[in-house]
Amino acid sequence: MVEAAQLEVQTDPLHHTAKIKDSLDFLIRHLRSDATMVEEPKAQALFETTAEVLQGLRTAYQHYEEGEEPAFRR
Q: What is the pLDDT along the chain (74 residues), one digit of tens a residue?
A: 556 665 555 788 999 999 999 999 999 999 999 999 999 999 999 999 999 999 999 999 999 999 978 887 76
> Distance from CA of residue 62 to its chain's centroid?
9
Domain that holds residue 56: 28-65
Burial status of residue 21 (CB atoms within 10 A of its CB: 0-12, 13-18, 19 or more): middle
If one counts the domains in the chain, the total is 1
